[in-house]
Amino acid sequence: MGIPGQVRIALLGLALAGGGCASAGLTRTATPDLRGNATVSTPQPRLLVAGPIELLHVNVERKAGATFLRVPRLAGAMPDCRSGAPLAWDGESDLYVRQDESVCVAVVHDARVSWHARSVPAGLESGTRHASLR
């Protein structure tokens, strides 16, 4: 006895739907979100993050007059934020910081700074803006 055409189509549809649900249940390797905060005082800039990392946004009071700096990171040494190059970044868009770079923040008035970032495996390039001025 054969299976009617409508039943075949219904069974095929159920099989495809079940397969779709099963594949949707697979989990991708999640990249952990990182968050931090610091109190930044004048006149010295302070290290915010070291790469590789993707900064998603930074919160700081407008009156603090925050300036972000790109600082090269030398192996085995702490970044010298005083030697950083100003970075044209609004603090709100995604910013990719390479493995050999750090981002520091300088303020005009003492302020509390908080940031949200996502870790990035070393060597992985991203489609976001880069901190490098090269």
Contact indicator for 124, 51 with CB cutoff of 8 Å: no
Tokens of 100: 């050999």
pLDDT in tens, 61-83: 999 999 999 999 887 788 999 99
> What's the pLDDT score for residue 101?
94
Amino acid at 114: S
Asked if CATH classification 3.40.50 holds for the domain at 33-130, the reply, yes or no, is no
pLDDT per residue rounded down to tens, the chain (134 residues): 555 656 555 454 555 555 544 444 444 456 789 999 989 998 889 999 999 999 999 999 999 999 999 999 887 788 999 999 999 998 999 999 998 999 999 999 999 999 999 998 655 554 444 444 44
The residue ranges of DSSP E strands in the chain, in sequence order, are: 33-40, 46-50, 53-59, 67-72, 85-87, 95-97, 101-106, 111-119, 129-130
> What's the pLDDT score for residue 33?
93
| Residue boundaries of the structural domains of the chain | 33-130
> What's the pLDDT score for residue 8?
56
pTM over the 0.75 mark: no
